[in-house]
Chain A
């Protein structure tokens, strides 16, 4: 009785685990990709154009306020991509789905780009506003630390030849790294007081930026998320194809020998 229920439960999740089969993944992602590209293009175009050209200039910031349409989404994605990598790594370690490991690998480069974009846009904004490109503010510092974690993760992937060993070791690193990244976040908070403003978007309405800026920002957030999904799918598909190519080459070499 019990295992019937377990089986039913598992069947309920079949739509998700279908993505774990490389063949199914290629088929599904091939079909989903044009839609994701469409969503990303439309939301990014609407959000960025609305944000850049049709919002008023803020009283004390002038037009520099508009950088938040890039800064906030990239910063959000930088953190969320790490979380996604952690989940993908756990799925790989527990269920041994290759697509999951490849997705984590594919996400890392997008994540590091988002982190860098958030740091650079922050610096560009900070120079006129705070009078400095860089301050050892907790948020800035944590992002730099996150950047270092991404670099280490990618370097480990690049250094190990056997793909399964690499997937295993980077997954372990992602788990341990997450704990230490979180720890660093709080350590850095303890270490220095901040210059950075609080959350721009939160459920606590008091802190939010005003509505004129808020609406295009949400569209930009959706846009950057869709952009990430597009890049993730494309890169994961590339990785899957690379694996297949490798397998074909190996088979050919075996046939020759």
Chain B
């Protein structure tokens, strides 16, 4: 399992893949929003957590098709399927690798981008916390979506149509936790809900994703 994780990490760093790309995309989204809604602090600051969350979600979506597609094309997914490691374990490791290369950089960069959006410093910890708790769920749900569409030639658009509705609960609770925390309200409940979604997805979705992969490899 660890070997698989290291292999995936190495591939994504060396192959010029999603590692920096997701972060750059996140930056562009963050920069574009003030151009769209105007530079006033009074407008930007309250919507900053929401923008950061939507940006993180889109950046995450961008790199999803890489999770299984390349391995499917060059046949290493078939090898993984016949390996002693259960498919579910492989799926989890793939999702973890995706999170380490996409989700974690977003979490770490969030305060910087928050500052770009005039976010008050009290909010930095909250946005980092909610993203840290929520982005693993995004990677896991995304891995499920990627497993569903792995056999398709042009699965990219379909993948976003399938995955985005599944992201809605995570987005709602995550953005709510960040903006409540920033405004100084009690944010424990949405924070717990985000954590719950992440843990629930990690516990259950590997089975669904592995089932989808097995169907696609048949």
Residues of A within 8 A of B (CB): 145, 148-149, 151-152, 155-156, 159-160, 165, 168-169, 172-173, 175-177, 179-181, 183-184, 186-188, 190-191
Residue pair B149, A159 in contact (C-beta under 8 Å): yes
Which A residues are CB-close (under 8 A) to B166?
176-177, 180
The residues in B between 93 and 144 inclusive whose CB is less than 8 angstroms from any CB of A are 144
Distance between B183 CB and nearest chain A CB, rounded to angstroms: 15
Residue pair B148, A165 in contact (C-beta under 8 Å): no
Distance between B131 CB and nearest chain A CB, rounded to angstroms: 17
Residue pair B169, A172 in contact (C-beta under 8 Å): no
Residue pair B148, A156 in contact (C-beta under 8 Å): yes
Query: Which of B155, B208, B218 contacts A175 (CB under 8 A)?
Result: B208
Tell me the complex Cα distance, A151–B193, Å.
Answer: 27
Give 11 A-B pairs besides A145-B168, A156-B149, A159-B158 with Cβ atoms closer than 8 angstroms. Answer: A148-B164, A156-B148, A159-B155, A169-B212, A172-B208, A173-B148, A176-B205, A184-B169, A187-B169, A191-B172, A191-B176
Query: Which of A152, A175, A191 contacts B165 (CB under 8 A)?
Result: A152
Distance between A237 CB and nearest chain B CB, rounded to angstroms: 27
Count of B interface residues, CB-CB < 8 Å? 29
Residue pair B162, A156 in contact (C-beta under 8 Å): yes
Tell me the complex Cα distance, A173–B172, Å.
Answer: 21
In the complex, number of A-B residue pairs with CB atoms less than 8 Å apart: 74
Tell me the complex Cα distance, A166–B48, Å.
Answer: 40
Which B residues are CB-close (under 8 A) to A188?
168, 172
* Known interface pairs A152-B162, A155-B158; A183-B212 also in contact (CB < 8 Å): no
Pairs A–B under 8 Å by Cβ, sample size 10:
A145-B168, A156-B158, A172-B211, A172-B215, A177-B165, A177-B166, A187-B172, A190-B172, A190-B173, A190-B176
Interface of chain B: mostly helix, strand, loop or mixed: helix
Interface of chain A: mostly helix, strand, loop or mixed: helix
Tell me the complex Cα distance, A190–B193, Å.
Answer: 11
Distance between A151 CB and nearest chain B CB, rounded to angstroms: 6
Residue pair A169, B165 in contact (C-beta under 8 Å): no
Residue pair A160, B165 in contact (C-beta under 8 Å): no
Which B residues are CB-close (under 8 A) to A181?
165
Distance between B160 CB and nearest chain A CB, rounded to angstroms: 9
Does B190 make an interface contact (CB < 8 A)?
yes
Tell me the complex Cα distance, A50–B155, Å.
Answer: 49
Query: Which of A169, A175, A191 contacts B216 (CB under 8 A)?
Result: A169
Tell me the complex Cα distance, A177–B155, Å.
Answer: 18
The residues in B between 33 and 74 inclusive whose CB is less than 8 angstroms from any CB of A are none
> 0/1 per residue, B146-182, Cβ < 8 Å to A?
0011011001001001101110110011001000000
Distance between B99 CB and nearest chain A CB, rounded to angstroms: 19
* Known interface pairs A187-B168, A187-B193; A169-B148 also in contact (CB < 8 Å): yes
Which A residues are CB-close (under 8 A) to B165?
145, 148-149, 152, 177, 180-181, 184
Which of B166, B190, B197 gathers most chain A CB within 10 Å? Answer: B166
